[in-house]
Amino acid sequence: MIENKNKEKIHEGLKKYWGYGSFLPLQEDVILSMLENEDSLTVLPTGGGKSLCFQLPALLKEGMAVVVSPLISLMKDQVDNLKDMGVPSCYLNSSLSVKEQRSAVEQILKGDIKILYLSPERLENEETIELLRSVALSFFIIDEAHCISHWGHDFRSSYRNLKMIKERFKDISVHAFTATATKEVQKDIIAQLGFTEPKILIGSIDRPNLTYRVMPRSNILKQIKEILQKHNNEAGIIYCLRRKDVDSVSEDLMKLGIDNVRYHAGMTDKDRRLAQDRFAREEVNIVVATVAFGMGIDRSNIRFIIHAGMPKSLEHYQQETGRAGRDRLPAFCYMFYGGADFRLWSYFAEESSEKETIMKKLRAIYDFCVKPQCRHKVLSNYFGEYYGKNSCDSCDYCLTELDMVNDSLNVAQQILSCVIKVRQERYGFGTGHVVNVLRGKATEKIENLGHHKLSTFGIMKEETENYVWYMVEQLTGQGFLLKDSEYLTLSVTEAGRQLLNSEITPVLIKPVVAARKKDIAKKATEKRDSEWAEVDQDLFQVLRRKRAELAREKSVPAYIIFSDKTLRDIAAREPLTIDDFSVIYGVGENKLRAYGNIFIKTVMDYKQKSEEV
């Protein structure tokens, strides 16, 4: 009975404040358990709607909710967002002036605040604890809860202290949220927070709206340019492994007339903040960055992520690609990898006390790159989840963009035996030389060494250099060949010997040739056109500009005003009255009051102009 009543209440709240018609998977369960005051741990992927899971019950319950978040830069955005929806909220962290702080405390003491954001450091402070003990609290939220665990990838020492919440606030429930948590991390979170019988709610980590493509790197600038052409006018992040790569890619794009901002830890705080703000307010669409960029960014309409190099683990890949398509509209992830990335990360691993764990993770992501399989499936399985679909329809493998080599065993055996044949007793040769021998290119070096007399000389003469090179890369990636870390010379591994004995067959893919590329691009365009069939794309761009203008005026990120999904709905339905506007996706009561007339006018002006033309 109570549950039914609560259900009704939360559906009403969802429509009233957010303007959404239904819950996303697991949201309802999470919210209901919060209304029942049970401690809980929720794992939901990025874009799964975690914020709403605690913001909605915070509005319905008596007292103030306290949200512990590690990201000071995000607190302001979250609070701006809530205020824009008409929810009284504030934050306390080191970025506030003494005056601002005093004003926030006054509002809290008066009972005017429904949601308070706090940095974990603040909770180490006795004054803050006394403040919280003097007002009525609804519950505590631990956001980005994986930061509590040594096993996670963003460990924060101040998160270790959060156990005191259960000790000092005995009757208040605590709810932990994270996007990525392996079983180990989940256990650690529960133990560290001192939960006894928590409710555990785990959502699927799969992101069906993301399309993954993984390709070997060749001319990276050309490869990036090709992708940018497909995503004209859309927002994206280009991740590079090193700061100097960020600088050079950013500069090269500028020279090509492609506006972008840079972001890495070598820049001043001010410059980084500026870059982030320009991106969040939609003044610029492209960020070229190291992994330092992203934690504090909530822009929900990032349509593509390009990895110019391979990240060091699938955890990182999942988190970085996770920044795309938070609005659940289609988004695209492209990764360009090379053996050099593997060597770079192995080199760093050498110095670590956790070398074995790091190498295990590195091998897993390298496998992901070089073994053609359904990308969604590999990612799901890696995070311990069963993937039930036969085809995801949204990765290069399932979209059959990868052409398999039919006689892969034969091709691999030719290459491996060539590596053995050219190898001298003490030293071997690099990929370039092996490729030349296989293709029968009689270079001076080959003739001097007498390698033109080997039986493998010219055995692959029909193939292009790019093709043979790519096969060697894959065989190295799959562990049949080993590249010496210093001299880059090739040798055959134990697994390679098994392959030569025909005990194992490798999976090899052909490089994508120009004609096939065209075909793939055509299919992608057709798919995109069908997704936009109902939407007036010109109007959508006009609405985007209006949103950017409002964001600038209010000094808030553009997504706070409306998401792309909302703009698309406006561009499809073209509302001309407040009544029409009230049924638009993502328009709650406050937004209707604040922006209804402004956007209706934009639609009217647009229609009038189109009729005049």
Q: Which residue among 6, 31, 41, 48 contacts ligand ADP (CB under 6 A)? A: 48
- Helical axes 355-370 vs 465-477, angle rounded to 10°: 140
Q: Does 339 bind ligand ADP (CB under 6 A)?
A: no
Selection from 297, 237, 289, 377 nearest residue 47 by Cα: 297
| Contact letters for ligand ADP, residues 156-195 (x by CB under 6 A) | ----------------------------------------
Query: Which residue in 220, 223, 231 sits closest to 331, CA to CA?
Result: 231
Shorter beta-carbon distance to ligand ADP: residue 304 or 470: 304
**Cβ-based nearer residue to ligand ADP, 47 or 506:** 47
Residues 25-44 contacting ligand ADP, CB under 6 A: 27, 44
| Segment near ligand ADP (CB under 6 A); pick from 50-58, 184-192, 239-247, 593-601 | 50-58
Compute the least distance from the CB of residue 327 to ligand ADP, in Å.
Answer: 6
Contact 263, 272 (CB under 8 A): yes
Buried b (16+ CB within 10 A) or exposed e, 400-425: ebbeebeebbebbbbbbbbbeebbee
Measured CA to CA, the distance from residue 357 to residue 349 in angstroms comes to 9
Closest residue to ligand ADP, judged by C-beta, is 49
Give the residue, chosen from 30, 43, 47, 92, that forms a contact with ligand ADP under the rule CB under 6 A: 47
Which pair of tokens denotes residue 565?
């999904």
Determine, following the binding rule CB under 6 A, whether residue 49 of this chain makes contact with ligand ADP.
yes
Stretch that binds ligand ADP, among 46-54, 311-319, 508-516, 575-583 (CB under 6 A): 46-54
Contact string (CB under 6 A) for ligand ADP, positions 260-299, x = contact: ----------------------------------------
* 562 near ligand ADP, judged by CB under 6 A: no
Strand positions, DSSP E, 280-409: 286-289, 302-307, 331-337
Strand partners, 509: 404
Binding positions for ligand ADP, 496-515, rule CB under 6 A: none
Of the pair 67, 288, the CB lying nearest ligand ADP is at 67
51 contributes a contact to ligand ADP by CB under 6 A: yes
Q: Of the candidates 23, 239, 334, 470, which one interacts with ligand ADP according to CB under 6 A?
A: 23
Near ligand ADP by CB under 6 A: residue from 11, 20, 187, 607: 20
Residue 171: CB atoms within 10 A of its CB come to 6
Query: Which residue, chain included where needed, has tokens 């691993």?
Result: 349
206 binds ligand ADP (CB under 6 A): no
Amino acid at 40: S
Single out the segment in contact with ligand ADP by CB under 6 A; choices: 21-29, 152-160, 385-393, 478-486.
Answer: 21-29
Upper half-sphere CA count for residue 32 (Cβ side, 13 Å): 15
Q: Which residues lie near ligand ADP (CB under 6 A)? A: 20, 23-24, 27, 44, 46-52, 300, 326-327, 563
